[in-house]
Structure 1
Amino acid sequence: MSKVPVILQIVPDLQTGGAERTTIDVAEAIVNAGWTSLVVSQGGRMVEELEATGTKHFLLQAKSKNPWVMWRNSYAIEKICRENKVEVIHARSRAPAWSALWAANRLKIPYITTYHGIYKETNALKAFYNSSMTRGDRVIANSRFTADLVERRDPKTKGRTSVIYRGSDMEALKRENISEERTSELRAKWGVSDNRRVVMNLARLTTWKGQRLLIEATRQLIAKGGYDDVLVVLAGDDQGRETYRQSLELQIAEADLAEQVRIVGHCSDVPAALAISNLSVVASIEAEAFGRAAVEAQAAGVPIIVSNIGAVPETVLVPPHVNEEQRTGWHFESGNAEQLCEIMSKALDMSAEERAKLAEIAQHHVKQAFTKQAMCDATLCVYREFLPKNR
């Protein structure tokens, strides 16, 4: 009988975010396949959820960018791999990727990476640091946009790059699968009354996610008149960026938007958050490598507005890329608060029939390419390529 495959994933921490959610989803798929799943991270609020899948978690200073800590981590990873007979290492971020790469090289086992973000390369040192992600036996990109960027930066990755779109649990996002108890609990927690039209922004609080822009667009929307019942919810962890969060609070106060914009912190129940939403906005002012929030809004049947940069054309369809009848949301020019305001107004003024039609088209679109099952199946196929052929 052949040995059960053992896969180790490494991610900086398990607090919140797309890389972290993908780590857990793939870990669950590994266990469901009858394999052994291991994850190394610095810990966080999602560890309990990870371990519930049957995955063994190892605590390490995986978030550190200190070269000495990274080097020391590589020996800790090597020890974990030897003791657990790991056959494939899968790194999901740059700092822990260096540690994983060194360990994999010493062990002579396959090393895989996933590009979850767009890493800036402003100089040669930064490019070298990023290269831990392009040295994999296979480099997984979470969109065609990301794959093209990787291959432009490092032409040697051509032939080793695979596009595997971030997948979401479509069933979990359906409104009919979300209890009134969950939505009521969330409304009570956030202080959102039933008579408010909710505009949801699901993004960690960081400058490039564009919360400032959304607040300004909201100021313009309220000034138009007729939208006093609109409540913009900024749902995301500041991850220690207290100064930025305080700057948003000041902007809200100075614009006299205390009744229209609310910062609620980390959201642990995204389906319920979308279930109480009338509109979702992704206001990023820098390119999204994928855009999970946009996909999940479409899956939930919530109209979506996104800035027109990064992987947006792959996730939210608009003319002229498709016919008007195939539209799944709206794009606006990145950084253009006035245009965002106009589209928000248009989306909020849709009739129930128009909303239902848009939702149907959007849900069909995301089910074709962005399911959790498709992502996990494709990732396990990559692992199988590097396992002994008798598995």
Structure 2
Amino acid sequence: MAVALKYRAMMRMNAIELPELSGKTILQVIPDLHAGGAERTTIEVAEAILEAGGRALVVSEGGRLVPELERLGGLNVELNVSSKNPITLRANATKIARLAKAQGVDLIHARSRAPAWSAYWAAQKAGLPFVTTYHGAYSGVSGLKRKYNSIMARGDLVIANSEWTAAHVRSVHDTPKNKIITIPRGVDFDQFDINAIAAERKDAIRKAWEIDADEKRLVLLLPGRLTEWKGQKVAIDAMASLSGAERVKLLLILAGDAQGRSAYVEALEDRIIEAGLGGSVRIVGHCEDMPAAYAVSDIVLAPSTRPEAFGRVAAEASAMGKPVIVADHGGQKEIVIEGTTGSRAEPGNPADLAASIRAILQLGAEGRAGMGEAGRQHVVERFSKRGLQAATLGVYKRLLETHEDD
């Protein structure tokens, strides 16, 4: 408890004021508001806009986060903005431009490629500043795919969510350095605080995951959408490569939405059975209470086979005081310090992931607690939600002032 109080005191001493946006209306555009880092950041920025005296609008297809946006005082306007159909993209541009005029929008912020094209054309029609956030390491090397991806580098200013992402944008799109603003994603340290998680919440997670109260095994948690590049297969294979004496001490939990990828889920289930891991690996579906999920876990895994642009799981788990093992590429390298806050394993290499798991197991409970504490300190100093909010609103204010001077 004393440690938690120390961090809260440190955050108060370094309280970050939000730039004033009184009377300004900001429109964020994103495919949906179901779950994910970009979606969560949309809500966090809407919260800051409203606190700063502005109006927060979102165009999306809706989702489970809409009620939260509305509780804050924001408005979601439903539109089919996930479609890549060129006719739909152009039609959406017209609809967004009309919405901007009707609602008195002052700036448009796009957070994904398909809706970004519509938002870009709408901003041009309406004569509004246009901001993009480069949330992902978008794949594709063909000329057509690079053209499609390039919209995320066409903002008047481009927000990169890590230094790795900023370098990627400069390399792939030849974007001038002075046009890119690096704003790491932030963690809400009131929400992700191990001391704030009531026993009832932890009990609810254990019940949902069918973990007995007297369970002696350490829980390895891999949270993330059930899609191949998140590394669930790598984690299963890493478990299979451990010795029987090591495996008996562990329970691997794969938590996340399948989002219609039933064939992938079946492939994971087959892999678990073939490896003889039926009692050691569980697929538990979407988890609404991630702070409690981290709280009941002992080690958190994020073995993505493609580079993560940032690494939200690593930041949140570290904030909860848990050792984290990530794939050694992308933005996650900026969050996990090898041997101090966790470990970094070779991407796609089950044997190396198993070695990282083994090394952290050998630290013992006290060593793991120390590693988790170092991780929390690291993210508190560098990756706060308030810092994200203030920096993003600073980008808005800069562009709005420039636009007013033109």
Q: Is the pair's TM-score, using the shorter chain for normalization, greater than 0.5?
A: yes
2:221 matched to 1:208?
no
Query: Which residue of 2 is the match for residue 302 of structure 1?
Result: 322
Equivalent-residue separation in structure 1 for 2:355 and 2:212 (angstroms): 25
Contact 2:322–2:373 (CA<8 Å) still a contact in 1? no
State the match for 2:218 in structure 1.
197
* CA deviation profile, 1:191-231 (whole Å, cap 9, x unmatched): 1223132100011111111110100111122x341431421
Task: State the Cα deviation string for residues 168-202 of structure 1 (Å, max 9, x = none).
Answer: 11221111101111111111112122313210001
Counterpart residue identity of residue 15, structure 1: H
Secondary structure of the structure 2 residue equivalent to 1:387: helix
1:164: how far off?
Answer: 0.2
Q: Do residues 328 (structure 1) and 341 (structure 2) align?
A: yes
Counterpart residue identity of residue 203, structure 1: G
**Post-superposition offset of 1:42:** 0.8
Counterpart pick for 2:398 among 369, 376, 385: 385
- Deviation per CA, 1:304-353, whole angstroms, max 9, x where unpaired? 111111122211112xxxxx6xx211011112111211221221232232
Query: Aligned with 1:311: secondary structure?
Result: helix
Counterpart check, 1:45 vs 2:54? no
Partner of 2:333: 313
Aligned to 2:286: 266
Q: Distance in 2 between matches of 1:362 and 1:316?
A: 7
TM value normalised by structure 2:
0.91
Answer whether contact 1:278 1:348 (CA < 8 A) is retained: no
Task: Give the whole-Å Cα distance in 2 for the aligned partners of 1:101 and 1:161.
Answer: 17
Equivalent position of 1:11 in the other structure: 30
The code of the aligned residue for 2:234 comes to L
Partner of 1:236: 256
Classify the secondary structure of the residue corresponding to 1:26: helix
Query: How many Å separate the matches in 2 of 1:212 and 1:123?
Result: 28
Contact map agreement 1:5 1:387 (CA 8 A) in 2: no
Matches within 5 A, 1:89-168: 89-168=108-187
How far, CA to CA, are the matches of 2:147 and 2:227 in structure 1? 25
Equivalent residues of 2:247, 2:280 under 8 A apart: no
Match of 2:247, SS state, is coil
* 2:228 counterpart of 1:172: no
* Residue pair 1:115, 1:146 contacting (<8 A) in 2 also: yes
CA distance in structure 2 between the aligned counterparts of 1:220 and 1:226, rounded to whole angstroms: 10
CA distance in 2, matches of 1:79, 1:230: 55
**Is the Cα contact below 8 Å between 2:322 and 2:369 reproduced in 1?**
no
1:351 paired residue among 364, 373, 380: 364
**Partners in 2 of 1:253 and 1:109 — Cα distance?**
55
2:239 to 208, 218, 227: 218
Residue identity over aligned pairs, in percent, reads 44
3-state SS in 1 of match to 2:263: helix
Q: State the distance in 2 between where 1:154 and 1:173 align.
A: 35
Structure 1 residue 3 displacement after superposition? 6.2
Counterpart secondary structure, 2:238: helix
> Is the Cα contact below 8 Å between 2:31 and 2:82 reproduced in 1?
yes
1:183 aligns with 202
For 1:218 and 1:227, the matched residues in 2 are separated by: 7
The aligned residue for residue 301 of structure 2 is 281
Aligned counterparts of 1:82 and 1:336: Cα–Cα separation in 2: 52
Q: Which runs of 4+ in 1 moved over 3 A?
A: 388-391
CA contact (8 A) 1:134 1:157 kept: no
Whether the 8 Å contact between 1:316 and 1:329 is mirrored in structure 2 is yes
Matched letter for residue 346 of structure 1: A
Inter-partner Cα distance in structure 1 for 2:212 and 2:89: 48
SS of aligned partner of 2:56:
strand
Tell me if 1:75 matches 2:75.
Answer: no
Gaps of 5+ in 2: 1-20
Q: Unaligned stretches of 5+ in structure 1? A: 319-323
CA deviations 1:21-61 (Å, max 9, x no partner) are 10011111111111100000011111111211110110000
- What is the root-mean-square deviation in Å for CA atoms of aligned residues? 1.6
Q: Deviations over 1:280-303 (max 9, x none)?
A: 011111111111101111110111
| Residues paired across the two proteins, number | 382
Structure 2 residue 44 is the aligned partner of structure 1 residue 25? yes
* Matched letter for residue 262 of structure 2: E
Query: 2 CA distance for matches of 1:243 and 1:35?
Result: 45
Of the structure 1 ranges 153-162 and 368-377, higher mean CA displacement relative to structure 2 is found in 153-162
| Residues 256, 287 of structure 2: 8 Å contact kept | yes
1:369 aligned residue (356, 366, 382): 382
2:352 counterpart residue number? 339
Pairwise CA distance, 1:95: 0.1
Alpha-carbon separation, structure 2, partners of 1:305 and 1:226? 17
- Secondary structure of 2:178's counterpart equals coil
Q: Which amino acid aligns with 1:331?
A: R
Task: Call closer, same or farther: CA 1:226–1:160 in 2, change over 3 Å.
Answer: closer
Per the alignment, do residues 99 and 358 of structure 1 end up closer, same or farther by CA in structure 2, a change over 3 Å counting? same
